[in-house]
Amino acid sequence: MLVEVSRLRDWFAGFNVMYFGGALPEPAFAVGRSRTRLGSLSWRYRRVLLSRRPYGYVIRVSNYYDLDERQLKSVLLHEMIHLYIVAEGLRDTSPHGVLFRRKMDAINADGWGISVSAKIKEAALGTGAAGKRRRVVLAVRMSDGRCLLSVVNPRYVGKIDSMVRRSADVAASAWYLSGDGYFVDFPAVRSPKGRVVPADVFGRLVGQMEPFVPGSAGVHI
């Protein structure tokens, strides 16, 4: 889909309240056609007494690639984390350091796909060849009610399946194959690790995926 400035502004307003307590200054928004960066944040400094203060924030999002709404919102959230760190005058360990990752993980717990890089990599694009390949997905419902999804390295399916089945914390689990772009930024895990997602998102994705039996023949990933 193609995103417009008005839509970015609306998404920003909602996310600002939801994840940042409404404390973020509203930036200007711009939509471009960058091939190398999905999103970016820029700002300027002005001198106030003996210090410099940031102002004039601009969030830019690229329309070059045909991303879906969830992917575009994740790009916006990535830049909003940067804005939060800069506007609050926080010092991180690197551009995507401890503070960035802590906030990213907290927001991703709601099912978003924020990653530490907003740069384009062909293997990470939902519209590229890698985005269209089928992935092995493990869907797990925990005893405490949480819903988790994992993209699993095919070589480790048997090992992880055995470990999950033996876990007393797992209420139910199932395996699937999916080419859905939702999973484009999921790492292919080699151990029982999953991303917590909202129950409605979990149910929708599970209902759309192809069931997969570990150890079955004739499956090409």
- Geometric angle at alpha carbon 197, from 120 and 171, rounded to 5°: 135
Q: Of the candidates 123, 169, 152, which has an alpha carbon nearest to the alpha carbon of residue 221?
A: 152
Confidence of residue 173 (pLDDT cuts 50, 70, 90): very high
State residue 133's pLDDT score.
Answer: 64
Q: What is the mean pLDDT of residues 144-158?
A: 92
Q: Look up the pTM and report it.
A: 0.57
pLDDT at 122 over 60: no
pLDDT number for residue 219: 38
Q: Which of 112, 124, 108, 135 is nearest to 184 (CA)?
A: 124
Let me know the angle formed at the C-alpha of 43 by 110 and 17, rounded to the nearest 5 degrees.
Answer: 30
